[in-house]
Amino acid sequence: MSISALQAIDAYAQASQTGQAKDIASAVSLAGDTKASSGLDFASMVQDAMGSVTASTAQAEKMVVMGAAGQTELIDVVTAISQAEIQLETVITVRDEMIKAYKDILRMPI
């Protein structure tokens, strides 16, 4: 399954709307600064995304254990695993696109 960069951006935007990431629109100041007064920059955005993926994976693991013990419904387990998988695929796609862009920059003639 191939995910385009636009699909990854849409997935991240949906994650940010559900409260799992900070508001990116407020991160850009009106003067055109790339770093906001709140201190949100690209590195912290990536770090927040990785933290979100880690937390989602941990939650999915807890749900699997609870499901095996019969303490939760199967649909809750499947939903948690699917959510973790989607977030991980999004981060991997963004990483791949960043590497591709870096390689394209390296190939540019001087």
**What are the residue ranges spanned by the domains of the chain?**
5-107
* Percent of the chain clearing pLDDT 70 (strictly above): 64
d(CA 107, CA 110): 9
pTM: 0.57
The pLDDT-based confidence of 68 (bands split at 50, 70, 90) is very high
- For the stretch 6-59, pLDDT in tens is 666 666 666 666 654 444 444 333 334 444 445 568 788 888 888 999 999 999
